Amino acid sequence: MINLVYCELLKLKHSKMLFLSILGVFSTPCMMFIEALQTHFRRPEEAFTLSDIYDSSLLYIMILTNMMIYVTITAYLFSREYSESTLKTILPTPVSRTKFVIGKFCALFLWIIMLTIVTWAGILTLSGFYHALIGMEGFSLVVAIQWLLKFLLGNLLVYLTISPFAFVAEKTKGFVAPVIASAVIVMGSAALCNQDFGAIYPWTATFFLIKGKLASTGYPSLLAISIIVLISVIGFFATFCHFQKEDLK
């Protein structure tokens, strides 16, 4: 299993996707930095903290920008064997198909964790630059580490809701369908992130849980968590079953 994950990670060395995904998630720290500068110059009397910046970034990380990037990565990992015509060399090998798919999901998980840390570190770095130039209340490494734990937990929940896109990528054997599907999901998430109904929409329920907004919606936490787990299980199960039936053509 470790060899399969290592093999998937080695493939990234010859791909531009790793670099492009890092550039993509770094857009969130940049937006937070620009927003902080705009707030300072428009309303210099308004104080905000490092915690406020991390809190504001959750929307982009869990619902908007990073979510789209995570789905794009998922589509790339699960469709590349078809697009690069390497499936014919993989299926005859004495490697369990189940382990092969697990290896891809593990590589996806590690990739998302890495991008989460990049996003967190980017916000900390640019906030540190802002703090050195202008000054920021509550700028502390302790605060940053607390938010790193929140980011990791939040993106673990996001990871669970991405499994259906892996199935779409396998089913369509391409990149386009899952990316279009993610665009629809993200638009729905943007519309529901301020609505109570968002607590039972899987791709915003994750945001509500980390943001601490679930209690105000009236929906129980167990219901939101159950929906997230259900979507995740369906996606994982469909992906595994489809690949088990895959044949050489």
pLDDT in tens, 196-225: 988 999 999 999 999 988 888 889 999 999
Q: How many domains does the chain have?
A: 1
pLDDT in tens, 173-194: 888 899 999 999 999 999 988 8
Burial of 132 from C-beta contacts in 10 A (0-12 / 13-18 / 19+): exposed
- Percent of all residues in the chain with a pLDDT value above 70, rounded to a whole number: 87
Mean pLDDT of the chain: 87
Q: Are 4 and 95 in contact (CB under 8 A)?
A: yes
| Residue-range definition of the domain harbouring residue 106 | 2-8+16-245
Backbone angles phi, psi at 156, to 5 degrees: -65, -40
pLDDT in tens, 132-188: 888 888 899 999 999 999 999 999 999 999 999 999 998 888 888 999 999 999 999
Residue 43, pLDDT above cutoff 70: yes
Q: Report which residue type is found at 206.
A: T
pLDDT in tens, 62-104: 998 889 999 999 999 888 776 666 666 666 566 677 888 888 8
Q: Are 159 and 108 in contact (CB under 8 A)?
A: yes
